[in-house]
Amino acid sequence: MVETTAWSAEDVFEQGAGDGSDTPIWLLKQGETAASLSEAQRAWLKAQKFSGSAKKQVSIPASDGAIAGVALGLGDGASGDPSGPSDVLAGQLAQSLPAATYKVADGERASELAAIAWGLGAYKFGRYRKSPDATAPRAKLRISDAANAARIVNTTEAVWFGRDLINTPASDMGPQELEEAVRLLAARHGAAVHSIVGDDLLAQNYPMIHAVGRASPRPPRLIDLTWGSPDAPKITLVGKGITFDTGGLDIKPPSAMLIMKKDMGGAATALALAHMIMGQKLNCRLRVLIPSAENAIGGDAFRPGDILQSRAGLSVEIGNTDAEGRLVLADALSLADDESPDSIFVFATLTGAARSALGPDLPAFFTDCDALGASLPVTSAAIGDPVWRMPLWDGYKRHLETEIADINNVWETPFAGAITAALFLRRFVKNARRFAHFDLYGWRPASRPLGPKGGEPQTARAVMDHLQRELTS
């Protein structure tokens, strides 16, 4: 059974103008003061050695001992944190302040990003460890702009939804449960869902999805969601849905398996983005394809050296069973490409090489569209959801060549693993106008203002920001 907190983000927001009783929050840059602070309040901040340094938080008392306001330092305008620009620091307030309704004072700083940061910082995953205060009132932020409120709440819910999916262990999040989550999302937005399960994958020509999942007692599947007008621009999202990855017969060491519940982080990211697209009613025909399987070990597991047939007709030699994500994605990409969409976006926790190059906070992305390649790193950094472009360098195609099949699923050396994986995926896309692949970690290693340690649908907000600009211009 799927459990999600994703529909409850309104618990941390108040909407409308309010009655003026909200507790003010001052977001102050280094050395800055606010006109609405009284002389006594300024004196208090000075006594607390508050100068606006990044992350410095001070509660200002009222004469009766209650909290009259809160000051949060933004530093010199950059956050001093990998999360991004200074407004994201508002996320730390949602968990640290007592229950009350707050409002950003001096409205010029009441940015949409600060409000989204508040929502993301308020996230809690409580499915398995119910705290005594789970139903207690929470700190809320007032959003007075009705036009922005729906977008802020939807974006928060979408990220929470993605986090819930990743954080749920594989015991409760197998391919079937992932499909149930897709169906819940579809029901909320009036989308259609179709799935192909188990041996039907062979009958309908998805042999690599079947091969990766056949050793598990939990049947693999291809989940297909569609929404929107058929005449609108076609946006297709493909998300890797490996609900647990042992590595297969090329088994991972125990330390590498500890958070392999996150190997469906690409699917969670695609679904979080889909939630935003549908919830904010972007003008597009959306399709989401989630090839889902558990890469298990058993007598029926696919083996190193096997030759698999793909939906696209290419034969694939298996150089390593732990490079299974690209196999299931390849069959899904072949289907996505059949209808020549305007854009295909692929999301996957695909390679350790991307993490070695860029670390856990900065997803790699690959694209054949130079306009997207130039703009997305800039706009994504501005909203605290960064990406970094890496090359689809054709010179490495030769390393996927093999003498007995059309292509190998890996290059046998440890070099350029993220690039060769991206080139493998690109081989299965011929008709789409634009291709982009995001190789992400899907996990926040430590708590930060934008959220606690745990699952994170990285790049979902970044791509949504780009699509909003593109489809409403």
> Bridge partners of 292?
221, 241
Catalytic pick from 151, 326, 355, 461? 326
Please say if 326 is a catalytic residue. Answer: yes
- Single out the catalytic residue among 127, 138, 252, 389: 252
Q: Which residues are catalytic?
A: 252, 326
